[in-house]
Amino acid sequence: MPSEQLTIDDLVLLGRGAPDRIRDGRITICAAGWSKTHGFVRIYPTRTSSPLRQWNQVAVPVERNPLDSRPESWKIQGSKSEWNTLDRKIEVVGELKQPDRRRVIRELVSPCVNSINESRVSLGIVRPVEMSGFLDERTDVDDGIQLTLTGPPQQKTKQGYRFQPRLRYRCSGCTAAESHDQQIIEWGCYEWFRKNPGLEAQVFENLRLEDPAYEKHLFVGNQANHRVSYLVITVLRWKRDTP
């Protein structure tokens, strides 16, 4: 049976996870955002070089991923057979500016991660009222960097870093008995680790977690094989006095 195909032409990118390696060895990025027409959208796999950057509005031809049954999940048409030229299929048609960013995000807020899960939705946005970041040390660091036959070593994935950034928080309408404790997969966090070894703890200051001058929301998503387990895809933040 042919896979469902369509073009999403109003996708606003909200966040991208850190690079990961899939079964066939490709280094990929999970990108996710919001479409007024289609709701929350996850696109996976994508190339690290793609123009799927935060707040870009893009048009992209997608199809269902037979390995991921979540309604929000799609892959770019030809994502495997045309991998080397996949970025050409993504057209940047605009950028969401302030104050539209604040308006869109505020309209999408759910009371709690629990309510997102109860609605059987794999992506959502919550507003944290209490939160603190901490580093969790990995016990299974993948130090190996795979070499390719035709090019330079492949990019390091998030499994190759000693630390994993995590966040404890409560939502504005939290119904959880205890604080949520979730991994942050935001690519920018791991880029900070890569460029600033020894200063990993500063990543939470970069995210403005405890800065009262910034309004913060969390864009969260669950895992394909663990539907009740959510991750923080990105910390959406802006100065409160931003016009």
Q: What's the mean per-residue pLDDT of the chain?
A: 92
Q: What's the 3-state SS for 122-186?
A: CEEEECEEEEEEEEEECCCCCCCCCCCCCCCCCCCCHHHCCEEEEEEEEECCCCCCCCEEEEECE
Task: Check whether 152 has a pLDDT greater than 80.
Answer: no
| Segment 166-188 mean pLDDT | 97
How confident is the model at residue 243, as a pLDDT? Answer: 57
Q: How far apart are CA 70 and CA 171, in angstroms?
A: 24
Residue 192, classed as helix, strand or coil, is: helix
Is the pLDDT reported for residue 118 higher than 50?
Answer: yes
Contacts of 147 (CB under 8 A, 6+ apart): 153, 154
Buried b (16+ CB within 10 A) or exposed e, 192-213: bbeeeeeebeebbeebbbeeee
Q: Residue 140's pLDDT band (boundaries 50, 70, 90)?
A: confident
pLDDT at 121: 95
The pLDDT assigned to 157 comes to: 92
Backbone angles phi, psi at 146, to 5 degrees: -70, 135
Quick one: pLDDT at residue 127? Answer: 98
- CA atoms of 189 and 58, how far apart (whole Å): 24
Confidence of residue 67 (pLDDT cuts 50, 70, 90): confident
pLDDT tier at 93, thresholds 50, 70, 90: very high
Q: List all residues 6 or more positions away from 4 whose beta carbon is below 8 Å from its beta carbon.
A: 63, 64
* pLDDT of 155: 76
Please give the backbone phi and psi of residue 2, each rounded to the nearest 5 degrees, phi first: -60, 145
Label residue 143 by pLDDT band (50, 70, 90).
Answer: low
Contact 220, 231 (CB under 8 A): yes
Percent of the chain with pLDDT over 90: 83
pLDDT at 146 over 70: no
What pLDDT, on a 0 to 100 scale, did the predictor assign at position 154?
57
- Whether the CB-CB separation of 65 and 74 falls below 8 Å is answered with yes
Q: Which domains does the chain have, with CATH numbers?
A: 5-95 (2.40.50), 111-239 (no CATH)
Per-residue model confidence (pLDDT) at position 242: 59
Q: Which two tokens stand for residue 89?
A: 């299929």
What pTM was estimated for this model as a whole?
0.93
146 or 28, which is more confident?
28
Amino acid at the residue 130: E
Furthest-apart CA pair in the chain: how many Å?
A: 53
